[in-house]
Chains A and B, each alone.
Chain A
């Protein structure tokens, strides 16, 4: 299961990255890790630095993807984002957290749902 879900995640992120690029995002980082959390994708969208959380949803999972970015997840994303800004010495730029949800259908088919500014501090 572990390997499978990793691969699923990877392929999801590939899909997300190509989708976002088509939307005009410029991806600069993938799978950035801090001590507390991980950010799937980091990209520029116009003047914004965007931290993107990619969620795969197979349709078999029990909870809805819309609620799965809970307080804990938010806190770890925020921590990771702060770490990123510090490490790269990025200042004076507007940031945003987006969520991208991928609904898997049959082999190869997927529906993508992008939530801009999904949450704030």
Chain B
């Protein structure tokens, strides 16, 4: 007797269909799983046995051979417990089913026979669109996530017995539906607001420009000047995720298992702030079967690196490629996988090892050599990718004592959304969506200066000794500032503001 059950396996972000074949032969009791199972798959044996017995079924006799086809790809994780258990019961004819052929079955089993949530459901459902299977049996906790793919009929189950009864036809389970719009409408309450920050008006403005144009930012300032506080409030002024973006982020979070316990859809832009001891593999992704790293988890969001020069040199250099390409390709002996990584980099650092370089004269105790070697950790190519470089001064006494004032995040956010809309119209049909990603040709096409602005830029180049690259950056940033102003032509004031954001060029 042989039973076949459809299931799915994950490889990076993608999923593919597999078939679980369960065969029983008479003889000494036992089982073997073939088809390159990992330890978690092999351990299913004990979970399945306990779950079957505790669900009121009899553990079937005989020697079981379980094949996960295709046999040449590695199968990972506990997601095959449920199909294997059902397969054994079907082979032993404790249950029968006519529905197997058009269902995909997935789920981890607990010893008492309840079904536990698994990772990567969204990727699996999306992959089903290609194969033609339209029904999926998933753990109830994953139902919201699975139902994001509207074409798929999602059957949520809570236990082995329930799934057996559903397949046997003695129980009806209504397909699970979610209202994606209502998930999206949930009002963002971040609990923090730009209005909370005292002073630092120009930094807030610069962060608004950065958010509007997707420009990477470097904040340089003394300890306690509010760099971290400001950076943490950045998500509150970002435009909300589009549905397509939210799905991409949800897929990534689903495969690394960061989704469980939350609603099925990530509706908020991610902000990742890895500690500076994080390894290069942790940042970029990796492992025997590569998993997404911090740059991918910050996809469509913000990667905040506090204490920027404290990161390993290697870590900083691996950032260059994803900053350029918006994705990372990780190759390992087993496989080569690509994960998306379109994020905005926000880096924060002190001006010198002791942090007091910009405070009153004589406060800093660092030698010039120390300061030099501190800055040397940041390579030229890396700093080149950061459009906006800012000094964050320490608050003056009177600012410190005052109540915080300034615009709330909501007000800033509306301007940002408008500016992003302008950019979306401008780049319609091209593969970019914000000013920061403009190529030099697009810069020439899109950044049109009036004569006064040209004069000012010329002067800035001469006086500040700007490089060709810095020139491009100023144009890009001034384009964003003009967009925030809803201006077609870039004027002198836009150029003047953009020039201010080149702190390092001013030396």
Contact = CB atoms under 8 A, between A and B. Distances in A.
Contact of B59 (A91, A92, A117): A117
A93 B24 CA distance: 12
B28 A117 contact: no
Interface string A77-102: 01001100100000111111100000
A94 B31 contact: no
B26 A121 contact: no
Contacts of A96: 29, 61
Contacts of A81: 28
Contacts of B455: none
A92 B26 CA distance: 5
Interface in B7-44: 26-31
B59 A121 contact: no
B63 interface: yes
Interface residues of A, number: 15
B62 interface: yes
A91 B26 CA distance: 8
A48 interface: yes
A94 B27 CA distance: 5
A43 to B, nearest CB: 15
Interface string B40-69: 000000000100000000010111000000
Contacts of B27: 85, 92-95
A117 B29 contact: yes
Contacts of B59: 117
Contacts of B63: 121
B53 to A, nearest CB: 9
A85 B63 CA distance: 14
Looking at A78, A81, A95, A96, the one whose CB has the most chain B CB atoms below 10 A away is A95
Interface string B280-316: 0000000000000000000000000000000000000
A94 B59 CA distance: 13
Contacts of B62: 94
Contacts of B49: 120
A120 B29 contact: yes
A85 B28 CA distance: 9
Contacts of B26: 91-95
Given A48-B61, A94-B62, A96-B61, A82 B28 contact: yes
A49 to B, nearest CB: 9
Nearest to B27: A95
Nearest to A51: B28
A119 B360 CA distance: 77
A5 B425 CA distance: 92
B52 to A, nearest CB: 12
A94 B62 CA distance: 5
Nearest to A121: B30
Looking at B26, B27, B30, B49, the one whose CB has the most chain A CB atoms below 10 A away is B27
B66 to A, nearest CB: 14
A96 B26 CA distance: 11
A18 B61 CA distance: 25
A115 B431 CA distance: 67
Contacts of A91: 26
Contacts of A82: 28
A48 B60 CA distance: 12
A62 to B, nearest CB: 28
A121 B33 CA distance: 13
Contact of B31 (A92, A93, A120): A120
Contacts of B30: 120-121
Nearest to A82: B28
A53 B49 CA distance: 21
Interface string B139-151: 0000000000000
Looking at A85, A93, A94, A97, the one whose CB has the most chain B CB atoms below 10 A away is A94
A85 to B, nearest CB: 8
B384 to A, nearest CB: 62
Contacts of B28: 78, 81-82, 85, 95, 121
A94 B26 CA distance: 5
A9 to B, nearest CB: 25
Contacts of A121: 28-31, 63
Nearest to A95: B28
A48 B27 CA distance: 10
Looking at A81, A96, A97, A121, the one whose CB has the most chain B CB atoms below 10 A away is A121
A96 B62 CA distance: 8
Interface in A10-42: none
Nearest to A94: B61
Contacts of A95: 26-29, 61
Nearest to A93: B26
B84 to A, nearest CB: 14
A103 to B, nearest CB: 24
A94 B30 CA distance: 11
B374 to A, nearest CB: 59
B460 to A, nearest CB: 78
Contacts of B29: 94-97, 117, 120-121
A62 B472 CA distance: 82
A62 B482 CA distance: 85
Nearest to B64: A120
19 contacts: A48-B61, A85-B27, A92-B27, A93-B26, A94-B26, A94-B27, A94-B61, A95-B26, A95-B28, A96-B61, A97-B29, A117-B59, A117-B61, A120-B29, A120-B31, A120-B49, A121-B29, A121-B31, A121-B63
Given A85-B27, A93-B27, A95-B61, 9 more contacts: A82-B28, A91-B26, A93-B26, A94-B26, A95-B27, A95-B29, A117-B59, A121-B30, A121-B63
9 A-B pairs with the lowest CB-CB distances in the bound complex, closest first: A121-B30, A120-B29, A94-B61, A120-B30, A95-B28, A92-B26, A94-B26, A94-B62, A93-B26
